[in-house]
Structure 1
Amino acid sequence: MIVKFVVDPTMFGEAHRERAAEFAAVSSDGKAQGCLHHRFVAGEDHVLAVDEWESVEAFQNFFANQTEIPGLMQAAGVSAPPEVSVYQSLNSADSF
């Protein structure tokens, strides 16, 4: 899953530092619900959450019902609804 947040990466980073415990709680909740890998990456005017989940349904349930995410997005200055893209991992000889 890739979730795109329209936000100034600097503001996002500040919110992440100031509310680290809340971000960690969301991460723990995600792990408990089937998230295998999670990382934030920044672009010029956005931040992406790049996740690997056990299933699309597990992600959808988590994201729809996680109560702390909206407050964290607001604190970070996210200016539009998140854009979710779903991708399937391909097994290939050059994967690592």
Structure 2
Amino acid sequence: MSVIVMMKIPADTDVFRRSLEERADEYRSLMEQAKAAGGIHHQYIVGDGFGVLLDEWETVEAFQAFFAQPAIQEFTAAVGGDTSVPAEVTVGVAVDSPDKY
């Protein structure tokens, strides 16, 4: 059964938003690497001074191994994420409910 991972990190969201366009090829490359490592779905959410990664992975261990890579940590910092502070990570399993849409 897959897992849903939410990772909230303090961020310079202006830098992050610019990076989505300026470094699009790098994001595409990381997408392929994540898929090969067990990533199923991926999305970003931006708030006031923070970013949230909302992912689905085959296992929590696959997610942890991917994001522990030094290259991923370096990229995160380069695109505005504050890696000096531990990210707030929540992991769970999606369930169906009568009101799901």
Identical aligned residues as a percent = 36
Q: Do 2:7 and 2:53's aligned partners in 1 also have CA atoms closer than 8 Å?
A: yes
TM (norm. structure 2) is 0.81
Gaps of 5+ in 2: none
Q: Do 1:15 and 1:72's aligned partners in 2 also have CA atoms closer than 8 Å?
A: no
Q: Do 1:26 and 1:68's aligned partners in 2 also have CA atoms closer than 8 Å?
A: no
2:75 counterpart letter in structure 1: L
2:15 counterpart letter in structure 1: M
1:53 counterpart letter in structure 2: W
CA distance in 1 between partners of 2:61 and 2:97 (Å): 25
Structure 1 residue 77: Cα displacement? 2.6
Write out per-residue CA displacement over residues 16-48 of structure 1, whole angstroms, 9 at most, x where no aligned residue: 222111111111111111111100011111011
Q: 2:95 aligns with which of 87, 90, 95?
A: 90
Q: How many correspondences in the alignment? A: 95
Q: 1:28 aligns with which of 32, 42, 46?
A: 32
Q: Do 1:8 and 1:46's aligned partners in 2 also have CA atoms closer than 8 Å?
A: yes
Q: 1:44 aligns with which of 41, 48, 58?
A: 48
CA distance in 2 between partners of 1:68 and 1:25 (Å): 12
Write out per-residue CA displacement over residues 38-86 of structure 1, whole angstroms, 9 at most, x where no aligned residue: 0001111101110011111221121123x43222222223223322211
Gaps of 5+ in 1: none
